[in-house]
Amino acid sequence: MTNIKEKFLKNLEAQLRESMTVARAGGKIADADKHRCEGFMQAGVELELVTDEDIQELIKAVHVSVYGESITARRGKEKLGSLH
């Protein structure tokens, strides 16, 4: 992994972790923060620093770190909860 790619992914990880931590605590992620993160991801892909797959892997890893479970498992629990 190149130094600039590592730096990009570390920065993105910090943004994702902050947003997911706010969401996990029941807070609302500011629209500006959401858009900044989305734009940052798109810029990384457009500049060929990272691939969509790199980003998806990082999102999944940070999600497990913050929530203690995969995105799929969490969505399954949310769907089950909404049925009751």
Question: In this predicted structure, what is the pLDDT of residue 1?
Answer: 59
pTM for the model: 0.85
Q: For the residues 71-77, what does the mean pLDDT come to?
A: 80
DSSP annotation string for 28-63: PPPHHHHHHHHHHHHHHHHTTSS-HHHHHHHHHHHH
pLDDT in tens, 3-57: 999 999 999 999 999 999 999 999 999 999 999 999 999 999 999 999 999 999 9
pLDDT in tens, 49-65: 999 999 999 999 999 99
Of the candidates 48, 51, 75, the residue with the CA atom closest to the CA atom of residue 63 = 75
